[in-house]
């Protein structure tokens, strides 16, 4: 028996991330100079002693599966438990793709039951934050809740963009308001749920039989529980939390890493051994800064060769930046090669893209940062030449 089992929803397609997710599941998108988005949640599980975890995949999972591998970087290559990737499968009654977050868990009831857990933690793999899930579990047990939902205060004027939890004293939830036009509260759901498994199991089965349901936790399961007056509580989180669901927010969250006062995970991990971030790391040599290279206010990973100028940027492993190149407020994914005299500003360059000498690409301050890969590179280069 495991006290608490984790279920990580990593099936999202992440359409708003554009080219970043055209061949790759959102949780597998590179983030933070060294990591993939899902590493932050996986590391939270490792740091919270949640050693048994199901990762639900369905969209382009090859990269994700390879990244997770046996789970070793997170010490989840366990004999009993550890990490298991769960794709949809054919059972006795034929096969079904996951049709919603609740359905994804429903289809894996057998998986969960074999560990006979008392509590199930449902999280998703597409946010950047550091949380010790033992804290939410502790509150969940203390309040004898059936569900505990992690919430964060958002600015009032943004509240209508979120799922808002309306609570009584003691954070007991009486209403879940999905993107309310006139929010009564500014506590937004972070999509992190701690459930008492026996209760959740019952609601999942009922929900699966309901043909009108969209099989979603926020839209169906939580409202059904509230209707039955079950004890549901909010768990207030006040650390750094960032959705990276759009190109702009992805870029902003990256820039946060360069600001030591933002409270973003990398600075925290340096100071606090219990908040390390683990990833499936390539075993690369340290990076090399040549005589012509300069680097200011930036993060650079191993395996790079830097001969140009890097400012306010995040550089992943195995990047080559040649002489007189000038990179500002940009993100270079693994294996990118930047030619001589290239200028990039507010640009995200995807894995293994080679940028020829002299190319200049700028996104303006008010524009969305530009995402470049080998395929669309020629469009931007052409644009530049026209301007010239």
Annotated binding site: 98, 163, 178-179, 189
Q: Among 49, 75, 97, 357, which residue interacts with its own copies (rule: CB under 8 A)?
A: 97
DSSP track, 192-220: EEEEEHHHHHHHHHHHHH-TT----IIII
Q: What is the dihedral of CA 31, 58, 103, 123, to 10 degrees?
A: -20
- When asked if residue 174 is in the footprint of another protein (CB under 8 A), the reply is no
- 27's tokens: 């949780």
Give the one entry of another protein, its own copies, none that residue 174 binds, where binding means its C-beta sits below a cut-off of 5 to 8 angstroms depending on kind. none
| Residue of 222, 158, 230 whose CA lies nearest to 192 | 222
In the numeric block, the tokens 């395929």 are attached to 375
> Which of residues 66 and 179 has its CB atom nearest to its own copies in the complex?
66
DSSP track, 149-176: EEEEE--GGGGGGSEEEEE-GGGBEEEE
- When asked if residue 328 is in the footprint of its own copies (CB under 8 A), the reply is no
Length of the chain in terms of residues written: 388
Q: How far is the CB of 15 from its own copies (least distance, A)?
A: 12
- When asked if residue 90 is in the footprint of its own copies (CB under 8 A), the reply is yes
Name which of residues 195 to 254 contact another protein (CB under 8 A).
none
Q: How far is the CB of 281 from another protein (least distance, A)?
A: 5
- When asked if residue 87 is in the footprint of its own copies (CB under 8 A), the reply is yes
| Residue of 63, 26, 281, 311 whose CA lies nearest to 332 | 311
- When asked if residue 117 is in the footprint of another protein (CB under 8 A), the reply is no
- When asked if residue 32 is in the footprint of another protein (CB under 8 A), the reply is yes
| Residue of 47, 12, 16 whose CA lies nearest to 371 | 16
- When asked if residue 314 is in the footprint of another protein (CB under 8 A), the reply is yes
Q: Count Cβ atoms within 10 A of the Cβ of residue 115 and give its class: 0-12 exposed, 13-18 middle, 19 or more buried.
A: middle
- When asked if residue 2 is in the footprint of another protein (CB under 8 A), the reply is no
- When asked if residue 8 is in the footprint of another protein (CB under 8 A), the reply is no
* Site residues (vs its own copies, CB under 8 A): 22-23, 57-62, 65-66, 69-72, 77, 79, 82, 84-85, 87-92, 95, 97, 110-111, 114
* Site residues (vs another protein, CB under 8 A): 32-34, 49, 72-73, 75, 77-80, 134, 266, 269-270, 274, 276-279, 281-291, 293-302, 305, 310, 314-315
């Amino acid at each position: 028996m495991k006290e608490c089992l984790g279920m990580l929803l990593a099936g999202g397609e992440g359409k708003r991330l554009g080219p970043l997710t055209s061949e790759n599941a959102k949780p597998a998108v590179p983030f933070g100079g060294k990591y993939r988005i899902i590493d932050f949640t996986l590391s939270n599980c490792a740091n919270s002693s949640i050693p048994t975890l199901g990762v639900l995949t369905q969209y382009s999972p090859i990269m994700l599966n390879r990244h997770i591998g046996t789970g070793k970087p997170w010490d989840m290559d366990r004999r009993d438990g550890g990490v298991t990737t769960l794709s949809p499968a054919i059972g006795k009654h034929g096969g079904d793709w996951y049709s919603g977050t609740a359905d994804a868990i429903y289809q894996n009831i057998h998986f969960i039951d074999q560990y006979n857990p008392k509590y199930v933690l449902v999280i998703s793999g597409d946010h950047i934050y550091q949380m010790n899930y033992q804290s939410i579990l502790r509150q969940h047990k203390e309040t004898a809740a059936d569900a505990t939902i992690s919430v964060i205060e958002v600015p009032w004027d943004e509240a209508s963009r979120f799922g808002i939890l309306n609570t009584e004293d003691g954070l007991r939830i009486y209403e879940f308001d999905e993107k309310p036009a006139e929010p009564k509260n500014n506590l937004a759901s972070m999509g992190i749920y701690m459930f008492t498994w026996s209760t959740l199991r019952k609601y999942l089965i009922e929900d699966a039989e309901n043909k009108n349901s969209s099989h979603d936790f926020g839209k169906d399961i939580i409202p059904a529980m509230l209707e039955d007056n079950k004890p549901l509580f909010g768990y207030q989180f006040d650390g750094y939390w960032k959705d990276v669901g759009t190109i702009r927010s992805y870029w902003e969250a990256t820039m946060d890493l360069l600001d030591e006062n933002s409270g973003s995970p990398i600075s925290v991990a340096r100071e606090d051994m219990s908040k390390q971030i683990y990833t499936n790391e390539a075993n690369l040599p340290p990076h090399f800064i040549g005589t012509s290279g300069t680097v200011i206010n930036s993060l650079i990973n191993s395996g790079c060769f830097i001969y140009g100028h890097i400012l306010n940027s995040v550089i992943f492993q195995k990047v080559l930046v040649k002489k007189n190149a000038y990179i500002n407020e940009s993100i270079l994914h693994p294996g990118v090669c930047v030619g001589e005299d290239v200028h990039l500003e507010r640009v995200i360059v995807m894995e293994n893209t080679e940028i020829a000498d002299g190319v200049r690409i700028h996104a303006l301050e008010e524009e969305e940062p530009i995402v470049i890969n080998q395929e669309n590179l020629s469009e931007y280069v052409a644009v530049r030449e026209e301007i010239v």
